[in-house]
């Protein structure tokens, strides 16, 4: 379930949005949306003994997920020419020339 949630909730929607492909959000796993995925992942990681190679793969996928998520956000923001900057309060909207 945790792997399916990672694929259907994080990876595929971001890649589809970046590649301008249609994505049906109804295919998402709603039982693992938001913070509900963390107890599932915690249980999974607490009860499985991973080898060093598997741990390296998990860390690599985690780092790749961060890069895809925030890199995609940055690229799409620049494509729309809109950047939000947080300077104390409130959020200021800048239009990039």
- What does the pLDDT read at residue 33? 63
Among candidate residues 57, 58, 8, the one with its CA nearest the CA of residue 28: 8
Give 5's contacts (C-beta < 8 A, 6+ positions apart). 29, 31, 32, 37, 40
- What does the pLDDT read at residue 51? 93
- 0.85 exceeded by the pTM? no
Q: In terms of DSSP bridges, do strands 82-86 and 91-95 run parallel, antiparallel, or are they unpaired?
A: antiparallel
In this structure, what token pair is assigned to residue 7? 């694929």
Mean pLDDT by 10 residues, the chain (97 residues): 74 85 76 70 87 92 89 80 61 55
- What does the pLDDT read at residue 76? 80
- What does the pLDDT read at residue 87? 59
- What does the pLDDT read at residue 2? 66
Give 14's contacts (C-beta < 8 A, 6+ positions apart). 68, 69, 72
Sequence-ordered strand ranges (E) for the chain: 82-86, 91-95
- What does the pLDDT read at residue 63? 93
- What does the pLDDT read at residue 89? 53
């Amino acid at each position: 379930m945790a792997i399916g949630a990672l694929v259907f909730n994080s990876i595929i929607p971001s890649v589809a949005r970046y590649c301008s492909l249609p994505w049906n959000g109804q295919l998402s796993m709603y039982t693992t949306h938001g913070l509900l995925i963390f107890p599932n992942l915690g249980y999974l990681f607490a009860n499985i003994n991973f080898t060093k190679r598997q741990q390296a793969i998990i860390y690599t996928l985690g780092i790749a997920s961060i890069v895809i998520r925030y890199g995609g956000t940055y690229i799409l923001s620049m494509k729309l020419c809109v950047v939000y900057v947080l300077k104390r309060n409130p959020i200021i909207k800048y239009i990039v020339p």
